[in-house]
């Protein structure tokens, strides 16, 4: 049964079921008697009143809960809380008065599939999680026209899908006819049944359109010339219309297309670097969630690493695949400083996809996997989950080179894996590379790539702050590659507790520096691999250098 039809058809049941319950009346005072398999009235301490079924001395089954503030719930209960199919009427004074929700509840909240009808007449029909729009859903205007539709995450539309723009006028609806009555009567049940049938037909039409679109895309894929070489990779959005992927994904491509939920778009290379294997693509009209970039220098050995991409296209899911692992090394193949090693499983087609931490912040770009068969031939051993990603520092420097605005974020609160998959999928896109166009293809030749925008001068100044309990009398700043600390930056000055001192190393030496301070007590403290281009302050608190 289609989910909207099932949702609204079942939602009509609780209204009549309470009045028509075949359970016998409960005997005695509910606070003193054990009520089981009976129907009774319970007045709660806060003034709420429940009328309905009891099993095991708890509210279980069909019932009506009238809240002291005026709101009303009619539907199923489990162990005393809203759970199952039901209708919630917002009748209390204040924002939301006159709204109504019909659908599934779990653990006292809107969870599952349902319809939220606003007092204004507009509505949302689709998936819910913890009282928020979450999953596939359609937002209708008051006149029945489709306002927004697609995939939602926590009340935010993250992936728009244009499926239907026809208008479906809704029947005039009141709040609850006879709100004080247990049984709203035949008219209300008939109204809900008619609405369920209309939603069922609407859902069928949308599903038919989805199936037709899927077939259309499949036929378009099959019509491509057999002489046209195809390869696929993954990319992720770093700014509106700008996508990061691997250089090897788009190398020697005569046509590049980015495939998203709403179709294909032509792409062109803005800049690429084969040494670090990164490419920046310009994709006109591509918008959506932007990938958050972690602060350089903050990636730690052993922290979780997740990836989403489009591997083995035609064999695995066209919707993409989500995998998990850990950061297993802070250097790459042959100790390469511009890569990290990850145990996250990847396959051909994952190249160019984002590697993120447990909060969804980007910590690298999938670039390669170890050739297990070749290593086995040489060593006699089969390596397990040895894969590599372009390092976070290398990615940030490449973006800055192309004047792509980035704001470094700290690692946030951990999300569960289902939430992470949604986040990764929201900013990831498939990248298709093809060879010469077939004779029937009238696509004009790709225009030459525009030269990259001039990179802005690097700002390597930051404030050194003394939060230790004693004075700092020497400060040294050195490039990470240098073996010599150089001279003291303070000279004759002493930095007392609470004071700050501005450091401005030359931008010619890049962004990454090591800093060493010496205290009056003779103790010292060092902070290495600090990104002066991303940081504005560097605080020393007196921890002993080890």
Mean pLDDT of 7-20: 37
Distance between CA atoms of residues 470 and 250, nearest Å:
55
pLDDT(27) > 70: yes
Q: What is the pLDDT confidence band of residue 64, given thresholds at 50, 70 and 90?
A: very high
Q: Lowest-pLDDT range, 22-31, 67-76, 380-389?
A: 380-389
Q: What 8-state DSSP symbol labels residue 25?
A: B
Model pLDDT for residues 443-491, shown as the tens digit of each residue = 333 333 344 444 445 677 888 999 888 999 899 998 877 778 888 998 8
The per-residue DSSP string of 352-400 comes to T-EEE-TTS-EEEEEEEE--HHHHHHHHS----S-EEEEEHHHHHHHHH
- The model's pTM is 0.41
Q: Which CATH class is domain 230-434?
A: mainly beta
pLDDT in tens, 203-243: 667 666 666 665 665 555 554 443 444 778 999 999 888 99
> With helix as H, strand as E and coil as C, how does 285-305 read?
CCCCCCCCEECCCCCCCCCEE
Residue-level pLDDT at 369: 67
Q: So what's the pLDDT on residue 174?
A: 41
pLDDT at 202 over 90: no
Domain ranges of the chain: 3-208, 230-434, 462-540
pLDDT digits 0-9 by tens, 138-177 = 888 888 788 888 888 888 888 777 655 555 555 444 444 3
Tell me which of 103-112, 177-186, 276-285, 486-495 is least confident: 177-186
- pLDDT exceeds cutoff 60 at 344: yes
Dihedrals φ, ψ of 197, to 5°? Answer: -65, -40
The CATH fold assigned to 3-208 is 2.20.110
231 vs 58: which has the higher pLDDT:
58
In terms of pLDDT, which residue wins out, 189 or 125?
Answer: 125
């Amino acid at each position: 049964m289609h989910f909207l039809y099932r949702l609204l058809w079942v939602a009509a049941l609780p209204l009549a079921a309470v009045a028509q319950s075949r359970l016998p009346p409960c005997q005695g005072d509910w606070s003193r008697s054990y009520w089981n398999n009976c129907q009774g009235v319970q007045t709660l301490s806060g003034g709420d009143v429940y009328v309905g079924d009891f099993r095991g001395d708890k509210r279980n089954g069909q019932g009506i809960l009238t809240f002291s503030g005026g709101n009303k719930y009619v539907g199923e209960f489990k162990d005393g809380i809203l759970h199952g199919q039901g209708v919630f009427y917002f009748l209390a004074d204040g924002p939301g008065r006159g709204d109504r929700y019909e659908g599934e509840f779990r653990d006292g909240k809107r969870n599952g599939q349902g319809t939220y009808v606003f007092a204004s007449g507009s509505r949302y029909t689709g998936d819910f999680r913890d009282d928020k729009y979450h999953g596939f859903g359609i937002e209708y205007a008051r006149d029945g026209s489709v306002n927004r539709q697609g995939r939602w995450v926590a009340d935010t539309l993250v992936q728009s899908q244009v499926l239907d723009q026809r208008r479906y006028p809704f029947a005039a609806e009141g709040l609850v006819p006879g709100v004080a009555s247990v049984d709203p009567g035949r008219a209300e049940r008939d109204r809900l049944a008619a609405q369920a049938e209309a939603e069922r037909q609407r859902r069928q039409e949308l599903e038919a359109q989805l199936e037709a679109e899927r077939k259309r895309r499949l036929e378009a894929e099959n019509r491509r010339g057999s002489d046209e070489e195809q390869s696929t990779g993954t990319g992720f959005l770093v700014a509106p219309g700008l996508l990061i992927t691997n250089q090897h994904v788009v190398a020697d491509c005569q046509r590049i297309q980015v495939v998203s939920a709403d179709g294909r778009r032509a792409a062109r290379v803005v800049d690429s670097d084969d040494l670090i294997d990164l490419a920046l693509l310009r994709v006109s009209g591509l918008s959506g969630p932007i990938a958050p970039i972690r602060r350089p220098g903050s990636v730690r050995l052993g922290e979780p690493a997740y990836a989403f991409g489009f591997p083995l296209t035609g064999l695995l899911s066209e919707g993409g695949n989500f995998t998990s692992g850990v950061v297993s090394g802070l250097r790459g193949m042959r100790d390469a400083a511009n890569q990290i090693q990850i145990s996250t499983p990847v396959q051909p087609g994952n190249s160019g996809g984002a590697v993120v931490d447990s909060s969804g912040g980007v910590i690298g770009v999938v670039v390669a996997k170890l050739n297990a068969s070749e290593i086995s031939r040489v060593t006699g051993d089969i390596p397990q989950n040895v894969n590599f990603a372009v390092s976070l520092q290398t990615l940030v420097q490449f973006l800055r080179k192309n004047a792509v605005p980035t704001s470094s974020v700290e690692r946030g609160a951990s999300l569960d894996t289902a939430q992470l998959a949604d986040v990764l999928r929201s900013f990831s896109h498939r990248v298709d590379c093809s060879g010469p166009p077939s004779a029937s293809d009238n696509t004009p030749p790709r225009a030459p790539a525009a030269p990259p925008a001039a990179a802005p001068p690097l700002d390597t100044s930051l404030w050194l702050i003394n939060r230790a309990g004693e004075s700092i009398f020497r400060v040294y700043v050195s490039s990470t590659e240098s073996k010599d600390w150089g001279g003291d930056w303070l000279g004759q000055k002493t930095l007392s507790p609470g004071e700050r001192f501005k450091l401005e190393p030359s931008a010619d030496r890049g962004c990454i520096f090591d800093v060493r301070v010496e205290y009056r007590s003779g103790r010292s403290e060092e902070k290495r691999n600090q990104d002066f281009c991303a940081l504005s302050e560097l605080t020393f608190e007196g921890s002993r250098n080890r």
